[in-house]
Amino acid sequence: MGGLQSIASYQQQQAAADYQNQAAQAQYQSEMAAYQRSQQAYNDQIEANRAAADRGYQREQQKLLEKRAEAQQRAQDLLIEKLQAKGTMLAAGRTGKSIQLLASDAEREYGRDLANLGTNLGYATMSYGMNTQDIYEEAKSANNIAASQRMFQPSEPIKAPGPSTLGLIAGIGGSAISGYQAYSELKALNPKSDKQQKSSTPAPKKS
C-alpha closest to that of 137 among 129, 22, 200: 129
The span from the CA of 137 to the CA of 18, in Å, is 52
Q: How far apart are CA 66 and CA 114, in angstroms?
A: 17
205 located within any domain: no
Q: How many independent structural domains does the chain possess?
A: 1
Whether residue 155 contacts residue 25, with contact meaning beta carbons closer than 8 Å, is answered with: no
Q: Give the pLDDT confidence score for residue 86 in this predicted structure.
A: 75
User: Tell me, what's the pLDDT at 193?
Assistant: 46
Residue type at position 99: I
Measured CA to CA, the distance from residue 104 to residue 200 in angstroms comes to 159
CA distance 53 to 60: 11
Do the beta carbons of residue 176 and residue 3 sit within 8 Å? Answer: yes
For residue 164, tell me if it sits in a domain: no
Residues 6+ apart with CB under 8 A from 57: 132, 135
Establish if 179 belongs to a structural domain: no
- Is 170 part of a structural domain of the chain? no
Q: What is the per-residue burial (b if ≥16 Cβ within 10 Å, else e) of 40-60?
A: eebeebbeebeeebeebbeeb
pLDDT tens-place values along the chain, 207 residues long:
555 676 777 677 778 888 888 998 899 999 999 999 999 999 999 999 999 999 999 999 999 999 999 999 999 998 888 888 777 766 666 665 666 666 677 788 888 888 999 999 999 999 999 999 999 999 999 999 999 999 998 988 888 776 666 655 655 555 555 554 554 554 555 555 444 444 444 545 544
pTM: 0.62
Q: Are 71 and 121 in contact (CB under 8 A)?
A: yes
pLDDT of residue 81: 85
Q: By residue range, what is the domain housing residue 125?
A: 2-153
What is the rounded (10 degree) CA torsion for 92, 98, 99, 104? -140
Residue 120 lies in a domain: yes
Q: How far apart are CA 171 and CA 18, in angstroms?
A: 21
Tell me, yes or no, whether 28 lies in a domain.
yes
Residue 9's pLDDT is what? 74
Q: Does a structural domain hold residue 125?
A: yes
Q: Is residue 189 part of a domain?
A: no
